[in-house]
């Protein structure tokens, strides 16, 4: 099922990317966009984890560097009977975490200094369980692909908008769609990409919460961690990089009212409610049990 989701996401975002290329470049623009999309898919599959980790200046650690974090990751990995991922720390007070990588054998878990200071060991284990669930489900590849293409579509949309401002809408544009084509490239395509991200991302988070609770046997610890992260006032580190918001355990861009409709994550209150229900309904063992 996850392989189908990955294929669908890559094809759908590629189609949007190509559509944007056609809307302001005609057939030539479409061909260029298609070539770029294929190249981006290849690059994303093999190198996206390195790009995201570098974006946040994540530093890979060993056990001697931070025994508590490394010990927690190893304990969760053993419960899940999974390969040991790279363990990274992100500098900064903003509490958050994410997993990245193309498969369980090439994965990384990254947490911020702020999260390490804020959470108890049980809560940290709950968070790592959530991220390990993403790794086992190969969700981080889906999220990274979405982040890469959302960013690229946003760049193309900006080019289309600036092209309209400085190039005007000449009659010559009619052959390639004219005003309608540029409006699609500038506004509709980014919205379509965002909706596609949201549709897949929300269910991934619910599933990762549930699977993480099973791996660790501590769904209430994850619920407690989510409650703390929701109250945390510092999110600026991640809010500057909107395209990668869907990778985080807590969306740094989530808001109230209408803005919550455009969040890549479900409301934390609903996630906590589900985790509490899960704790009541299941006698917990390790994931391997």
The rounded distance, in Å, linking the Cα atoms of 206 and 277 is: 13
Bridge-based pairing of strands 86-90 and 59-60 is antiparallel
Considering the candidates 123, 125, 131, 205, report the single residue annotated as catalytic: 131
Please state, as a whole number, how many other Cβ atoms lie within 10 Å of the Cβ of residue 93. Answer: 16
The rounded distance, in Å, linking the Cα atoms of 109 and 90 is: 10
The rounded distance, in Å, linking the Cα atoms of 20 and 69 is: 43
Closest by Cα among 129, 283, 289 to 215: 129
The rounded distance, in Å, linking the Cα atoms of 268 and 274 is: 10
Closest by Cα among 281, 275, 277 to 133: 275
| 131 labelled catalytic | yes
Which residue(s) pair with 87 in the sheet?
109
To the nearest 10 degrees (0 to 180), the angle between helices 139-167 and 2-55 is 70
The rounded distance, in Å, linking the Cα atoms of 14 and 16 is: 5
Q: Is residue 257 within 8 Å of residue 196, measured between CB atoms?
A: no
Residues that are catalytic:
131
């Amino acid at each position: 099922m996850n392989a189908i989701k990955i294929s669908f996401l890559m094809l759908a975002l590629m189609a949007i990317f190509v559509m944007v290329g056609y809307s302001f470049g005609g057939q030539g623009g479409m061909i260029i966009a298609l070539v770029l999309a294929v190249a981006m898919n290849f690059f994303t599959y093999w190198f996206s984890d390195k790009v995201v980790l570098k974006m946040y200046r994540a530093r890979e650690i060993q056990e001697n560097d931070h025994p508590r974090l490394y010990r927690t990751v190893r304990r969760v990995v053993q419960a899940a009977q999974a390969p040991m991922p790279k363990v990274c720390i992100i500098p900064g007070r903003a509490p958050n975490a994410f997993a990245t990588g193309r498969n369980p054998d090439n994965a990384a878990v990254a947490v911020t200094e702020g999260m390490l200071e804020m959470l108890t060991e049980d809560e940290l284990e709950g968070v790592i369980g959530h991220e390990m669930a993403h790794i086992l489900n190969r969700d981080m590849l889906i999220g990274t692909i979405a982040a890469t293409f959302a960013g690229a579509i946003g760049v193309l949309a900006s080019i289309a908008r600036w092209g309209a401002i400085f190039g005007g809408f000449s009659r010559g544009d009619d052959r390639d769609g004219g005003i309608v084509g540029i409006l699609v490239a500038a506004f509709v395509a980014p919205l379509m990409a965002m909706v596609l991200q949201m549709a897949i991302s929300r269910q991934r988070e619910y599933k990762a919460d549930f699977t993480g609770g099973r791996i660790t046997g501590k769904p209430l610890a994850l619920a407690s961690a989510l409650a703390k992260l929701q109250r945390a006032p510092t999110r600026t580190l991640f809010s500057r990089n909107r395209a990668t918001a869907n990778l985080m355990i807590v969306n740094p861009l989530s808001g109230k009212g209408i803005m919550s409709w455009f969040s890549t994550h479900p409301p934390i209150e609903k996630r906590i409610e589900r985790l509490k229900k899960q704790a009541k309904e299941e006698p917990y063992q390790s994931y391997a049990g």
